[in-house]
Amino acid sequence: MPAKALPDALADILGRVRARRPLIHHLTNWVVMNDTANITLHAGALPVMAQAREEVGEIAASAQALVVNLGTLTAERLEAILVAAAVANQRGIPIVLDPVGAGASAWRTASALHLLKERRVAIIRCNRAEAAALLDQVGTIRGVEDVGRDSAEERLTLAQHLADRFQTTAAITGPRDVVSDGKRLLAVDNGDPLLTTITGSGCMATTLVACCAAVESNGVLAAATALAAFGLAAERAAQAARGPASFKVALFDHVYNLGPADLAAGARVGWLHRRES
Amino acid sequence: MPAKALPDALADILGRVRARRPLIHHLTNWVVMNDTANITLHAGALPVMAQAREEVGEIAASAQALVVNLGTLTAERLEAILVAAAVANQRGIPIVLDPVGAGASAWRTASALHLLKERRVAIIRCNRAEAAALLDQVGTIRGVEDVGRDSAEERLTLAQHLADRFQTTAAITGPRDVVSDGKRLLAVDNGDPLLTTITGSGCMATTLVACCAAVESNGVLAAATALAAFGLAAERAAQAARGPASFKVALFDHVYNLGPADLAAGARVGWLHRRES
Amino acid sequence: MPAKALPDALADILGRVRARRPLIHHLTNWVVMNDTANITLHAGALPVMAQAREEVGEIAASAQALVVNLGTLTAERLEAILVAAAVANQRGIPIVLDPVGAGASAWRTASALHLLKERRVAIIRCNRAEAAALLDQVGTIRGVEDVGRDSAEERLTLAQHLADRFQTTAAITGPRDVVSDGKRLLAVDNGDPLLTTITGSGCMATTLVACCAAVESNGVLAAATALAAFGLAAERAAQAARGPASFKVALFDHVYNLGPADLAAGARVGWLHRRES
């Protein structure tokens, strides 16, 4: 695909979300439940947040994508996740996984790995530390932020390894977001540092990835659309923000107002060559 | 009651909420818990969101109204709801039911119908699809929005059927809100389309209905007060909104600032003749 | 400590929160989970909200302070709280308790007292009614607000009794916040009445107390820093607020923007003489 065509392809995917209004079933954490339901609506899709074992299979079957977010995980929710994810796999409904807190506890990491072993996940959206934990590289990455280190390079390597190991598309976000399906590599440079000052910005990005995956089977393009749109909305929101809370209000407004033409003009995305590692 | 008197009656009810500060016990979903606690405070009432089986009976007994909201229902919460609702029934505390997601799964619909069979509900606040599901008319209504169809007419019929079937007051919201206790019919035309772009606007309306039901035993007037006040606040909030999130901030501010005199002047409410169906 | 030194001491503590970015583990209620995670980040610390019995011990062990908030308590969460609090006690990690709703039900009060009996709590942050309930003085305090009564005096007495009874530091908030460790008494006069119009303002204050307790072992000074900073941010937020929701957005922005020098200049704090009671 020529470089010129990429922003247009993303704009087309965003337009499809708005036109089709896909239903996005979330099995997600309590902290971000309100925010991710809202951002689903603002993106043009429809949220449903049902969690009960008694109904998650039926709800998942009616959705066009399933978000599995492991924040504030409980044993009961993990059980419901496995039920919903089985239905999604049977019906070809894409699962987008956010392994929140992988590496923060042995149980959380093991739960994420169990899910990845038992169910097919279309896209993993996570940060560098979570990716490293899933790849059992916790020791080299945990702790404070590695200032002065080439993190984008490290995210590239981790994304490729995640994609290879779990036969999935991996989207690792940071100052530069990287996306890989094991064959292709893509980078997104939209975003703003204020995203790190609010809770759940990663979870919001994951929700937008699912909105796009519901209308686009190419996982790399779906993730790139969501991350570029979210980053572009953040750039616009940052302009008038007086702090993290007014930034968040503006971020949500801009996600709602961002049209396909805005994305075609403002997306800073590009293919990268696969690096040997 | 003459037409002139209706807005004044609603203003009087709103004034009583502010003066008496009733305690509103919510057994509600995780998505809207923060928003509905806030809107209870902004309306002048006091929220309590206790959910544990061990205490819901005692908490409900101290409240002036009980909100039962079935969003993100679990088996544990349903059990707690039945306990709290039994206490409310014994003590004459009005229950306001929001059957969120009735029709979305067989279990959710059955749970709502079980509650309606076992406990007396003073007011049901829902949308058209949920009303249809409770009346086992899912097939005619589910799916995409019926563009070009007279939805207000359909809501009128559904409200009357709900009221008759469950011996309750039914408030079905939409571009025109309709309220019926089976004998009287009332319409509220306040509101703004931006309400459909945020999650939980229906749940917020339900909470306001409960705030009014706590101080007014006539369910039709209580629901009309809440829906007119909420719709009027939405109209004001929409004027300066730059998107759904700034709209929501302004909506909450306006619910707080809306006085009885504002409601008397701005409520667009009226009695309708009962239609044979 | 001379009077002049007190604001400077608080500014130094706030600066340490910003510099060290302590990890604050919250076992908290669903209503405020998003708000308290955000305010932790805005203050410069890092939140983690893990709740599952399977991991709370490991998570608590990695934190610098543990918030235990009893709002929307369930039996399962109480069990997880006891596990996490045991680990915190073993490792000397300070526990900050918010006994939300003590006095609202017999079970809630008993749960708070059970925790206080079984685990060591560094700081209790609560309101007057909750303090009275923990001291079994419910009858003299519950019900409507005692207009015309010297509430600050009553809070002083309650703080001293709480500190003595539970060998802790007690911070009781109100128009004048009071803090006591049983020997010393301190008052904070920052704040704004709009704090009473939003849900969770007490929970937010508790979270900030924990952020400070993570970097300062003197509980009275840690609590004073948090309450002065929160109250000062509220004073600034109130200036342009158009209602409770725009106030809350501005409050969060100001918590983020408030620097140590702002606190040194704006803190209205002072030592009081211990009163015999």
Residues across chain C: 277
Distance (Å, whole) CA C28 – CA C205 = 13
Place of tokens 């492991």: A70
Measured between CA atoms, the residue of chain B closest to residue A61 is B105
- Contact at CB, B243 and A253, closer than 8 angstroms: yes
- What is the pLDDT, as a whole number, of residue A143? 33
Distance (Å, whole) CA B219 – CA B162 = 14
Q: How far is A179 from chain B (nearest CA, A)?
A: 29
Place of tokens 């995917």: A13
Q: CA nearest A120: which of A140, A152, A91?
A: A91
- Contact at CB, C198 and B62, closer than 8 angstroms: no
- What is the pLDDT, as a whole number, of residue A145? 36
The per-residue pLDDT for range A176-202, each reduced to its tens digit, is 999 999 999 999 999 999 999 999 999
Q: CA nearest C211: which of C192, C232, C229?
A: C229
| Residue A270, helix vs strand vs coil | strand
Share in percent of chain C as helix, strand, coil (round to 5): 55, 15, 30
Distance (Å, whole) CA B168 – CA B223 = 12
Q: Mean per-residue pLDDT for C81-91?
A: 98
| A185 close to A160: Cβ distance less than 8 angstroms | yes
- Contact at CB, C197 and B58, closer than 8 angstroms: no
Distance (Å, whole) CA C234 – CA C201 = 10
Given a cut of 90, whether residue B148 has pLDDT beyond it is no
B51 vs C74, C245, C249: nearest CB = C74
Q: What is the DSSP letter of B195?
A: G
| A101 close to C48: Cβ distance less than 8 angstroms | yes
Q: Mean per-residue pLDDT for A121-149?
A: 72
Backbone angles phi, psi at A264, to 5 degrees: -60, -35
Q: Mean per-residue pLDDT for A226-233?
A: 98
Angle at alpha carbon of residue C231, lines to C229 and C233, rounded to 5°: 70
- Contact at CB, C37 and A30, closer than 8 angstroms: no
| C77 close to C108: Cβ distance less than 8 angstroms | no
Which residues of C lie closer than 8 Å to A, measured between beta carbons?
A: 30, 33-34, 37-38, 40-42, 47-55, 58-59, 62, 248-254, 256-257
Q: Mean per-residue pLDDT for B21-25?
A: 97
Going by their DSSP bridges, the two strands C23-27 and C46-48 should be labelled as parallel
Which residues of A lie closer than 8 Å to B, measured between beta carbons?
A: 30, 33-34, 37-38, 41-42, 47-55, 58-59, 62, 248-254, 256-257
Give residue C92's identity as a one-letter amino acid code.
G
- What is the pLDDT, as a whole number, of residue C137? 84
The per-residue pLDDT for range C195-237, each reduced to its tens digit, is 999 999 999 999 999 999 999 999 999 999 999 999 999 999 9
Q: Mean per-residue pLDDT for A221-246?
A: 98
- What is the pLDDT, as a whole number, of residue A151? 76
The per-residue pLDDT for range B94-111, each reduced to its tens digit, is 999 999 999 999 999 999
Given a cut of 50, whether residue A148 has pLDDT beyond it is no
- Contact at CB, A55 and B31, closer than 8 angstroms: no
Given a cut of 50, whether residue B144 has pLDDT beyond it is no
ipTM above 0.90, yes or no: yes
Domain segments of chain C as ranges: 5-272
- Contact at CB, A248 and B249, closer than 8 angstroms: no
Give residue A192's identity as a one-letter amino acid code.
D
Distance (Å, whole) CA A245 – CA C252 = 6
Q: CA nearest B213: which of B1, B25, B32?
A: B25
CB contacts of A31 in chain C (<8 Å) are 33-34, 37, 49
- The CATH classification number of C5-272 equals 3.40.1190.20
| C147 close to C222: Cβ distance less than 8 angstroms | no
The per-residue pLDDT for range C89-148, each reduced to its tens digit, is 999 999 999 999 999 999 999 999 999 999 999 999 999 999 999 999 854 433 333 333
Give percent above pLDDT 70 in chain B. Answer: 92
Q: What is the DSSP letter of B94?
A: P
Q: What is the DSSP letter of A217?
A: S
Give the number of beta-carbon pairs within 8 Å between A and B.
84
Given a cut of 60, whether residue A144 has pLDDT beyond it is no
> C272: exposed, middle or buried (C-beta count within 10 Å: 0-12, 13-18, 19+)?
middle
What residues contact A118, with CB distance under 8 A and at least 6 apart? A82, A85
Query: Hey, how many other C-beta atoms are within 10 angstroms of the C-beta on C53?
Result: 17
- What is the pLDDT, as a whole number, of residue A146? 35
Label residue A138 by pLDDT band (50, 70, 90): low
Distance (Å, whole) CA A69 – CA C177 = 39
Measured between CA atoms, the residue of chain A closest to residue C252 is A245
Measured between CA atoms, the residue of chain B closest to residue C241 is B253
Q: What are the strands, taking DSSP E only, across chain A?
A: 23-27, 46-48, 65-69, 95-98, 123-126, 169-172, 177-180, 185-188, 269-272
- What is the pLDDT, as a whole number, of residue A57? 98
| A240 close to A47: Cβ distance less than 8 angstroms | no
| Residue B177, helix vs strand vs coil | strand
**Mean pLDDT, rounded, of chain A:** 93
CB contacts of B200 in chain A (<8 Å) are 34, 37
Q: How far is B225 from chain C (nearest CA, A)?
A: 21
Give residue A155's identity as a one-letter amino acid code.
R
| B142 close to B132: Cβ distance less than 8 angstroms | yes
| C22 close to C45: Cβ distance less than 8 angstroms | yes
Q: CA nearest B84: which of B69, B72, B71?
A: B69
The per-residue pLDDT for range C151-166, each reduced to its tens digit, is 788 899 999 999 999 9
Given a cut of 50, whether residue B259 has pLDDT beyond it is yes
- What is the pLDDT, as a whole number, of residue B115? 98
- Contact at CB, B47 and C245, closer than 8 angstroms: no
| A277 close to A29: Cβ distance less than 8 angstroms | no
Position with higher pLDDT, B142 vs A101: A101
- What is the pLDDT, as a whole number, of residue A35? 98
CB contacts of C234 in chain A (<8 Å) are none
Give percent above pLDDT 90 in chain C. Answer: 90
- Contact at CB, C47 and A108, closer than 8 angstroms: no
Label residue C46 by pLDDT band (50, 70, 90): very high
> Distance of CA C139 to CAs B141, C132, C144, C183, C269, Å?
54, 9, 12, 27, 31
| Residue A177, helix vs strand vs coil | strand
Backbone angles phi, psi at C75, to 5 degrees: -60, -35
Q: What is the DSSP letter of A42?
A: H
Q: How far is B111 from chain C (nearest CA, A)?
A: 22
Token pair belonging to C93? 């990690």
Distance (Å, whole) CA A73 – CA A98 = 12
- What is the pLDDT, as a whole number, of residue B140? 44
Q: CA nearest C140: which of C148, C132, C152?
A: C132
Q: Mean per-residue pLDDT for B8-15?
A: 98
| C147 close to C234: Cβ distance less than 8 angstroms | no
Burial A120-139 (b: 16+ CB within 10 A, else e): ebbbbbbbbbbbbbbbebee
A249 vs B105, B106, B249: nearest CB = B249
Given a cut of 70, whether residue C9 has pLDDT beyond it is yes
C37 vs A31, A101, A245: nearest CB = A31
Token pair belonging to B79? 């059990």
Q: What is the DSSP letter of C194?
A: G
Residue from B28, B29, B30, B253 to probe the interface with A (highest A Cβ count within 10 Å)? B30
Given a cut of 60, whether residue A276 has pLDDT beyond it is no
CB contacts of C53 in chain A (<8 Å) are 75
Distance (Å, whole) CA A153 – CA A146 = 13
- Contact at CB, B62 and C108, closer than 8 angstroms: no
Q: Mean per-residue pLDDT for A84-98?
A: 98
Token pair belonging to C52? 């599952």
- In sequence order, what are the beta bridge partners of C25? C48, C66
Q: Mean per-residue pLDDT for A57-82?
A: 98
Q: CA nearest B69: which of B117, B124, B17?
A: B124
- Contact at CB, C251 and A242, closer than 8 angstroms: no
Burial C188-219 (b: 16+ CB within 10 A, else e): bebbbebbebbbbbbbbbbbbbbbbbbbbebb
Backbone angles phi, psi at A51, to 5 degrees: -125, -15
Label residue A3 by pLDDT band (50, 70, 90): low
CB contacts of A29 in chain C (<8 Å) are 49
| Residue B179, helix vs strand vs coil | strand
Label residue B147 by pLDDT band (50, 70, 90): very low
The per-residue pLDDT for range B37-81, each reduced to its tens digit, is 999 999 999 999 999 999 999 999 999 999 999 999 999 999 999
Label residue A233 by pLDDT band (50, 70, 90): very high
Measured between CA atoms, the residue of chain A closest to residue B103 is A59
What residues contact A228, with CB distance under 8 A and at least 6 apart? A7, A10, A188, A190, A263, A266, A267, A268, A269
Which residues of C lie closer than 8 Å to B, measured between beta carbons?
A: 29-32, 34-35, 71-75, 101, 104-108, 197-200, 242-246, 249
Q: Mean per-residue pLDDT for B242-259?
A: 98
- Contact at CB, C41 and A197, closer than 8 angstroms: yes
Distance (Å, whole) CA B70 – CA B63 = 19
Given a cut of 80, whether residue A121 has pLDDT beyond it is yes
